């Protein structure tokens, strides 16, 4: 069975600090896809990134970066120089073999 | 604007009543989904539909029902058989009917809060 673990339930940082959200996944499939979504207080899940299992290159988008390591089955998300607007719940998800699993989410609070 | 619209945003239900949550999308997506979100448990799939007039049960379908009479609409009924219906419900869609395992992105609406009183 597929599984996504986000061990950090809540994280609190002060503005401008860097913060890393951890995501560990389990799957027996060789082809799979990993996602990160952001859920602001409004409730909608906002798509941030998708990676496939054959592309381990790290990706950077502005203050956001993602570190995909198949050796440790991890897909961690780093926010550099955090801002108050980054406060939200962040979900990691795994998709393969007609199934999609979400982690329990990490609530990030960025204080001014 | 293109997107997924859920209504109502907040809904209160008395025990024993059925309620229906609306979900409409104008993205011309083939597949639509309903998820339930409880604190600390992430998202769990209730039902999904890959084409009109067809839908499949997800992990927690008991006590729920859906219909897909039009491509753009996928209403969810929470029946009185659902023992613990208080939760946040999210509707989603994807352009590809096989999105659950194919890696195509699933897009979400803003959700509906259902509370049993």
Q: What is the pLDDT of residues B22-68, one digit of tens each?
A: 999 999 999 999 999 998 778 999 999 999 999 999 999 999 999 99
Q: What sections of B10-98 are H helices per DSSP?
A: none
Mean of all residue pLDDT scores within chain A: 94
pLDDT of B1 > 70? The answer is: no
For A57-84, what is the mean pLDDT?
94
CB nearest to B42's CB, from A42, A91, A97: A91
pLDDT of A34 > 90? The answer is: yes
CB nearest to B88's CB, from A9, A43, A47: A43
| Higher pLDDT pick, A1 / A64 | A64
Check residue A31 and give its pLDDT. 93
Q: What is the pLDDT of residues B71-88, one digit of tens each?
A: 999 999 999 888 889 999
Residue written as token pair 């509370």: B115
Q: If interface means Cβ-Cβ distance under 8 Å, which residues of chain A face chain B?
A: 4, 9, 32-33, 35, 37, 42-47, 50, 52, 91, 95-100, 102-105
Phi, psi of B46 (to 5 degrees): -95, -60
Q: Is B1 exposed, middle or buried (0-12, 13-18, 19+ CB in 10 A)?
A: exposed
CB nearest to B107's CB, from A47, A99, A103: A47
pLDDT of B109 > 80? The answer is: yes
| Higher pLDDT pick, B117 / A18 | A18
Rounded Cα distance, A78 and B19, in Å: 40
Per-residue DSSP letter, B18: -
Residue written as token pair 């996928």: B74
pLDDT of A55 > 90? The answer is: no
Phi, psi of A71 (to 5 degrees): -60, -30
For A14-18, what is the mean pLDDT?
98
Residue written as token pair 């927690």: B60
Contact criterion met (CB < 8 Å) for A52 and B103: yes
Lowest-pLDDT range, A58-62, A85-89, B29-33? A58-62
Q: What sections of A11-103 are H helices per DSSP?
A: none
């Amino acid at each position: 069975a597929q599984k996504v673990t986000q061990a950090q339930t809540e994280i609190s940082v002060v503005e401008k600090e860097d913060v890393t959200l951890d995501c560990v996944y389990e799957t027996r499939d060789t082809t799979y896809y990993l996602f990160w979504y952001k859920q602001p207080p409004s409730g909608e899940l906002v798509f941030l990134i998708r990676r496939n299992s054959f592309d381990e290159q790290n990706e950077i988008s502005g203050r956001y970066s993602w570190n995909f390591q198949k050796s440790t089955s991890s897909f961690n998300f780093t926010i550099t120089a955090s801002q108050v607007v980054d406060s939200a719940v962040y979900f990691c998800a795994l998709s393969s073999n007609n199934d999609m699993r979400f982690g329990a989410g990490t609530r990030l609070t960025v204080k001014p | 604007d293109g997107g997924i619209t859920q209504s109502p945003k907040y809904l209160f239900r008395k025990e024993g009543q059925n309620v229906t949550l609306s979900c409409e999308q104008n993205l011309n997506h083939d597949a639509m989904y309903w998820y339930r979100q409880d604190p600390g448990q992430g998202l769990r799939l209730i039902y999904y539909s890959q084409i009109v007039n067809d839908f499949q049960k997800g992990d927690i379908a008991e006590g729920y029902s859906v219909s897909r009479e039009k491509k753009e609409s996928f209403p969810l009924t929470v029946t009185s058989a659902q023992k613990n219906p208080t939760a946040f419900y999210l509707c989603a869609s994807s352009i590809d009917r096989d999105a659950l395992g194919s890696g195509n992105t699933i897009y979400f609406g803003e959700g509906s809060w259902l509370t049993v009183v």
